Amino acid sequence: MPEGNEIHRWAARHTEAFVGRKLRVEAPGGRFADADVIDGKVLKRVHAVGKHLGYEFGPDAILHVHLGRYGDWTEGVGELPEVKGALRVRLSLPTHPRGKAARMDGAPSDDATTKHGWYSEDDGSTSLDPKDVDWIELRGPSDCSLYDREKWQKLLARLGPDPLNGDDPAPAFAKTAKSKTPIAALLMDQSILSGIGNIYRAELLYRARLSPFLAGKDVPEKTLKAIWKDSIPLLKAGMVDRRIVTTLPKDRPHKTGKPLKPEVHYVYRRHGKPCWVCGTKVQRQEMAGRSLYWCPECQKE
């Protein structure tokens, strides 16, 4: 599931590609009923809050997108590709920026397009320059619907501070200090913190050498502050190349050069393998429906 780094990355790309321009908005498969309402309107702003995207066409016309576990954007240059798969919505420039009219009939195109897989399959090296992007397509989101300002405000009110939005973390610390829930579950709770998912929570806890099972109320505030502070550059780095690298060079078997793929994480998906730092076997356990990874030695209770 994409985490905050990925959501903010899409927001930044789509801002550069489309903000201030009139967009063609289509849902050729009939999977987004309100496409007509925003079709032909100027995209004013793209918001990213935690795992939510908001494409603002007007104060009461915000296209809300939550990618969920399976959602992803595809982007491309030039003519629109053939309609395929469970296409939810397509946003495109109504005229090709180089003067060529884009085809709206869904005819196949031979133009180069770039498809994005998950971060683990894509290190960002194949990305298009966002200025060249002519269209984007959304498939598989958990939500794609039109919000009015009231609904958008309600969503924002439900979400905790987002490390990538320069928010004040105090409300997250206050909620954590009152909770008996394990810190690993709290970090993933979007009403406490926005944007942290399964990879970041595992790695942030490891980097803080904190037990994932410690109750929120037992985590010292200075540790919470350190986790928050640590999350900002880590999330930002993940926005640039879609690759979430959390290991420090000194802890990797190869201490110089670009980190090798198996060496980018301390504990995430490394269960059964030795911890880079202490050699103890990394553990895995289900917590709130998601796999939790930790080193029982470095992250003792």
Give me the active site residues, please.
2-3, 51, 290
Q: Site size for Zn ion, by CB under 5 A? A: 7
We find the least distance from the C-beta atom of residue 295 to Zn ion, in angstroms, to be 3
Which stretch, 73-81, 169-177, 197-205, 267-275, contacts Zn ion (CB under 5 A)?
267-275
Contact flag: residue 210 with Zn ion (CB under 5 A): no
Exposure of 52 in the CB half-sphere (CA atoms within 13 A): 27
Q: At what angle do helices 221-241 and 170-177 cross, to 10 degrees?
A: 130
275 vs 206: CA distance, rounded Å: 10
User: Among residues 120, 69, 113, which one has the least CA distance to residue 90?
Assistant: 113
Nearer to Zn ion, 43 or 292 (CB): 292
Nearer to Zn ion, 57 or 293 (CB): 293
- Please state, as a whole number, how many other Cβ atoms lie within 10 Å of the Cβ of residue 291: 13
Nearer to Zn ion, 194 or 283 (CB): 283
Contact flag: residue 202 with Zn ion (CB under 5 A): no
11 vs 222: CA distance, rounded Å: 31
We find the least distance from the C-beta atom of residue 231 to Zn ion, in angstroms, to be 21
Nearer to Zn ion, 152 or 294 (CB): 294
From the number of C-beta atoms within 10 Å of its C-beta (0-12, 13-18, 19+), residue 47 rates as: middle
SS3 state at 9: helix
Binding letters toward Zn ion, positions 270-299, x by CB under 5 A: -----x-xx-x--------------x-xx-
Tokens of 218: 């037992």
Provide the binding-site residues for Zn ion, judged by CB under 5 A: 275, 277-278, 280, 295, 297-298
